[in-house]
Structure 1
Amino acid sequence: MILGIGTDLCNIDRIQGTLDRFGDRFRNRVFTELEQRKAERRADTAGTYAKRWAAKEACSKALGTGLRMGIAWRDMGVANLRTGQPVMHLTGWAADRLAQMTPEGHEAIVHVTLTDDHPWAQAFVVIEARPLSARASEAPET
């Protein structure tokens, strides 16, 4: 079942201006160390940051909170699988909120997709609850 859906559209030039104006103060407040390492290795640094900004906004919407109620920017982080597929990692209050949303007997899966076409970066987040395996939830008889 779908627990939440979020989307966000971010202007890459706006992120570039914020990076130019605030530099590390902005990076360290919003992005995880892993996100910063990824972005700083890319030719389109601002575009990489903008996609991750959009993913965090979209994730907060999918969690049903927006960026309020205690969620910190760094509680949501985008990483990539070896295939390049983005994945969202939640910690802190965002992870707590996800646990509250997840029905008993289910596991939460956070799906994220990112795209950009200058000057825009976009992200979609879908939070899915999947039933736990019947075998895993059954205790063996003795």
Structure 2
Amino acid sequence: MKIVGTGIDIVEIARIAKSYEKFEANFAAKILHNEELSEFEGSKNKATFLAKRFAVKEAFAKALGTGIRDNVHWRAMYVQHDEKGKPLLVFTAEFAKQIQAEKLDIHISISDEKKYVVAQALIVETIS
């Protein structure tokens, strides 16, 4: 196993709340994949939900070394949870092919505490 990249992002929830208040559904639609929208609609704290997704996608883009641009965009990925609640980053079909071709495993962690959300992404190359 070889570490390809690591990224971390911290987001102030109030900053995301302001963007959501200003742009509402357009802001959510910009950063959320369709798979995340129904969970978002049912969430009690929409700003925290958005901040978590924003932070983890930024952390992944930093780990990849590209930032959010070109084929690494907000809606090319979404967060799901396994049966134990562990967050998993899932990719659209096109982007998933690239990840698989490069034999990459993605590990993420997301935490929130009152005013902030922090997320970390670790990209490792699997050696078979």
TM-score (normalizing by structure 2): 0.87
* Percent of residue pairs bearing the same amino acid type: 30
One-letter identity of the residue aligned with 1:55: V
In structure 2, the residue matched to 1:30 is 31
| Matched length | 127
Q: State how far apart, in whole Å, the 1-side matches of 2:111 and 2:28 are.
A: 20
In structure 2, the CA distance between the partners of 1:18 and 1:92, relative to structure 1 (3 Å rule), is farther
What stretches of structure 1 of length at least 5 have no aligned partner?
133-142
**Maintained 8 Å contact 1:78/1:89:** yes
Task: Specify which structure has the bigger relative contact order, considering alpha-carbon pairs within 8 angstroms and separated by 6 or more residues.
Answer: 2
Secondary structure of 1:131 counterpart: coil
One-letter identity of the residue aligned with 1:119: K
In structure 2, the residue matched to 1:120 is 116
One-letter identity of the residue aligned with 2:107: H
Residue-by-residue CA offset, 1:50-80 (whole Å, 9 max, x unaligned): 0110001001111110112442210121111
Residue-by-residue CA offset, 1:98-135 (whole Å, 9 max, x unaligned): 356x2xxxx32100000001210010000111223xxx
Q: State how far apart, in whole Å, the 1-side matches of 2:16 and 2:54 are.
A: 9
**Maintained 8 Å contact 2:105/2:125:** yes
Matches within 5 A, 1:1-142: 1-91=2-92, 94-95=95-96, 98=99, 102=102, 107-132=103-128
**Maintained 8 Å contact 1:39/1:46:** no
Moved over 4 A (4+): none
Secondary structure of 2:126 counterpart: strand
Q: State how far apart, in whole Å, the 1-side matches of 2:5 and 2:93 are.
A: 18
TM-score (normalizing by structure 1): 0.79
Name which one, 1 or 2, has greater alpha-carbon Rg. 1
What stretches of structure 2 of length at least 5 have no aligned partner?
none
